[in-house]
A and B are shown apart, each in its own frame.
Chain A
């Protein structure tokens, strides 16, 4: 065992990379849940994004186009969920599960010919000057574009929810859809938009995984990341910056256990690789045991079907 092989600077730098997929997926799901919809299909949308982005990037040799395609694919897939739950009033839990099953199957269906292929490399974005700062430079300012984009999305969502009218309306719809309807807001339309934003974010997260973090395509490569993103939203009590915090903590755990595996720690590999899931459970338990606080932040209409009868 050689723990000295683990460099703290590299560890912190790579935790940001490792956290980015779930950060993207979770911030998207946060917006969806704030509008009062529970989409359990994050895993399915992520993996669909992962393969769509990968395929387009390989075909066009342009990773940026791949990311755009992934966001589109995620949004389209989430629109199916939105149409079913919002227009055809289907059960959100069941529909979300169907989305995950479909995404997993669909991605492996179209992904078969892409396994073993190398995607075009994504440029690293070294921010001039800042990236030369010792320690902080490599940690914060020598990443690819998407790491910064993901943080920007978190900031954007925070500003939108807290300071804009659109955010207020979104929160109102999630809080009490009947009242929002009575005031003349288009509940279904607003929710569909939120769902598609969530889908696009999940798709981006998946593509980040297949194009940048890994980078290659393997079947079922999200390995529960979408579910962890769902747990992260609960952990964050539906607050954007807390999603960031949670994702980075989680990324840290993942990176650490991978480093420990590489360092040949005496703990069997399997126990290290199950640790992220166990930690997710523990975090969920801690968050949910403080019921009052969670209940106050949780959108009151979360998961309820809305049907305007009159």
Chain B
């Protein structure tokens, strides 16, 4: 560290416990004025708790903070904002039915008059290259635009410290470039940035220093540019991870054929699917990338059978199934695992046994003449728990008592054990710790190896590149033509995600 300047923020021995878990254990680090400082760590390492304490949302059990050399203990976010600390959340704290200007006004302590505010928004958004119309409803904006609302909300308050929680998870590579330009400009102007991420290349690209957290503790503070991504990963995870193994895919016949699949938007702020078409062969892993909110949920629902289409839009082994419901599709071998674990893939308050019945009733023959075989269901749940290493006291535990990674293993395992012919998964490793993510990816590849066709919908491009045979991008409800994943460059992927292919002319809606 330079040591010449006094730190803007210094944190000493911050500790916070939640029942059963020590989220932050004696955390100390400091951020210099104008510095871009990374907080690096896996899911569950305690990054979020730490920044919530800095932002006044959570109060530490022990420890102290100094801001500009004076003791700093925000009782509520308003105090933090008044002290010059602003935060952009990972899950945006935005209001869909309110306008951009109203959203921004809500995040300010002393908002100016509406007309002045609109003028300020336009001015600041232009100055930082983040164009935004103050009168639009936030629900109608893309994920990237929504993030701009949050950032501009922060910038209007002229913060000294800007906290950004996983800001790039919702952006296309091109949008990430724009964001980084903005952040560098801010940094040059003297604003310090606390940048939370688990993406190593980004941090090496952007940050001046990094504090690495593991299981609630600081394990290292370093200059990320002086270390390789691999070294950082080892510090972050604490073990050397095995990249998933895959042997060369030997693909068989086409099993799933989707053509002309169009669906209106399910809700006012949803995405319409437009003329989606692709075909999938046995043993193939098709990765579908895309920024959140471009139709991922809608695509999964149309494949799982939760929304219906004309019969011929989806064919399984040549048989039209577009009009069949989820259970009829399961019977034919098309299974799915949605993104939202709690409340969609599993019922939070029901036990694992009951959740095993949720999708397993048909193929595992757990119901006869309407009567449930609880003994059979329990056995099925135990098998999932055993074969997929789900850490839980037993099959009677409610789903919400499991950690994200364990529940995800249960959800994916539940489908895999039913020997699907086609499996569709959405965000299979979202919010899952690294070792669980690796084992889920491996399980998917093993399944493909046995001849099942798999669709992986994900926002994590690294993951898709690691496991896909073919890659397609979903943008504003359109799906690009799948291309072989091997050899795709970042630029090509970025263009596909923005809704363009290299051959095609740029699309109108950006």
A and B touch in the complex (CB under 8 A): yes
Q: Please report A residues at the B interface, Cβ cutoff 8 Å.
A: 165, 168-169, 171-172, 175-176, 178-180, 182-185, 292, 295-297, 299-300, 310
Q: From DSSP, what is the main secondary structure of chain B's interface residues?
A: loop
Contact with A along B73-94 (1 / 0, CB 8 A): 0001110010000000100111
B107 contacts which chain A residues (CB < 8 A)? 183
| Chain A residues within 8 Å of B97, by CB | 171, 175, 296-297, 299-300
Q: Is the CB of A172 within 8 A of B57?
A: no
Q: Are B111 and A295 in contact (CB under 8 A)?
A: no
Q: Which residue of B lies closest to A301 (CB)?
A: B95
- B-side contacts of A310, CB under 8 Å: 18, 49, 52, 57-58
* Chain B 12-47 near chain A by CB (<8 Å), digits 1 or 0: 000000100000000000000000000000000000
- Chain B: CB-nearest residue to A310: B58
Q: Report the interface size class on chain B.
A: 20 to 34
Q: Are A295 and B106 in contact (CB-based, < 8 A)?
A: no
The contact of A168 among B52, B58, B105, by CB within 8 Å, is: B105
Q: Are A184 and B98 in contact (CB under 8 A)?
A: no
Q: Are B95 and A175 in contact (CB under 8 A)?
A: yes
Q: Does B102 contact A (CB under 8 A)?
A: yes
In contact, A184 and B95 (Cβ under 8 angstroms)? no
Given contacts A171-B97, A179-B93, 8 further A-B contacts (CB under 8 A): A165-B111, A171-B98, A172-B95, A176-B93, A180-B106, A184-B78, A300-B97, A310-B58
Task: For the complex of A and B, list the 7 residue pairs with the smallest distance between their C-beta atoms, beginning with the closest.
Answer: A184-B77, A179-B93, A182-B93, A175-B95, A184-B78, A184-B76, A176-B95
B56, A300: Cβ atoms closer than 8 Å? no
The reply on B202 being an interface residue by CB < 8 A is no
Does B4 touch A at the CB level, under 8 Å? no
Residue-wise, chain B 256-272 has the 8 Å CB interface mask toward A (1 for contact) of 00000000000110000
List of A residues within 8 angstroms of B111 by Cβ: 165
Q: A183–B89 Cα gap in the complex (Å)?
A: 10
Do A295 and B268 form a contact, CB below 8 Å, given A171-B98, A179-B94?
yes
Using A175-B98, A310-B52 as known contacts, say yes or no to A169 and B268 having CB atoms under 8 A apart.
no
Question: Which residues of chain A are near B49, meaning CB under 8 Å?
Answer: 310
B313 to chain A, nearest CB (A): 24
**A183→B93 contact, CB < 8 A:** yes
B96 part of interface (Cβ distance < 8 Å): yes
Contact check, A182 vs B77: say whether CB atoms are below 8 A apart.
yes
Tell me whether A296 and B93 are in contact in the complex, defined as CB-CB below 8 angstroms, given that A168-B102, A172-B98, A182-B77 are known contacts.
no
Contact A176 B77 (CB under 8 A): no
Which chain A residue shows the least CB distance to B79? A184
Set B92, B93, B94, B106: member contacting A169, Cβ < 8 A:
B106
Query: In the bound complex, how far is the Cα of B107 from the Cα of A300, in angstroms?
Result: 19
**A183→B104 CA distance, assembly (Å):** 11
User: What are 10 A-B pairs with beta-carbon distances under 8 A?
Assistant: A168-B105, A169-B106, A172-B95, A179-B93, A179-B95, A180-B106, A184-B56, A300-B96, A300-B97, A310-B49
Nearest CB of B to A298, in Å? 9
Kindly state the separation between the CA atoms of A295 and B268 in the bound complex, as whole angstroms.
8
Query: How many angstroms between the C-alpha atoms of A74 and B375 in the bound complex?
Result: 53
Q: Roughly how many angstroms separate A179 CA and B76 CA in the complex, as a whole number?
A: 14
CA distance A169 to B105 in the complex (A): 10
A303 to chain B, nearest CB (A): 16
- B268 and A292 form a contact (CB under 8 A): yes
> With a CB–CB cut-off of 8 A, which chain B residues contact A184?
56-57, 76-78, 81
Contacts of B94 in A (CB 8 A): 176, 179
Give the complex CA separation of A40 and B262 in angstroms: 40
Q: How far is the CB of A288 from chain B (nearest CB, A)?
A: 15
Q: Give the CA-CA distance A299 to B98 in the complex, in Å.
A: 11
Nearest-neighbor residue (CB-CB) of A171 within chain B = B98
Distance in angstroms from B159 CB to nearest chain A CB is: 15
A67 to B251, CA, bound (A): 79
* In the complex, residue of chain A having the shortest beta-carbon distance to the beta carbon of B103: A172
* Nearest neighbor of B23 in chain A, beta-carbon distance: A310
> Do the beta carbons of B268 and A179 come within 8 Å of each other?
no
Closest to A185 in B: B106
Tell me which residues across on chain B come within 8 A of A299, comparing CB atoms. Answer: 97
Note all chain B residues with C-beta closer than 8 A to A185: 106
**In whole Å, how far is A131's beta carbon from the nearest beta carbon of chain B?**
39
Complex Cα gap A169–B268 (Å): 23
Most buried by A among B49, B52, B93: B93
Cβ of B325 to closest chain A Cβ, rounded Å: 22
Q: Which residue of A lies closest to B111 (CB)?
A: A165
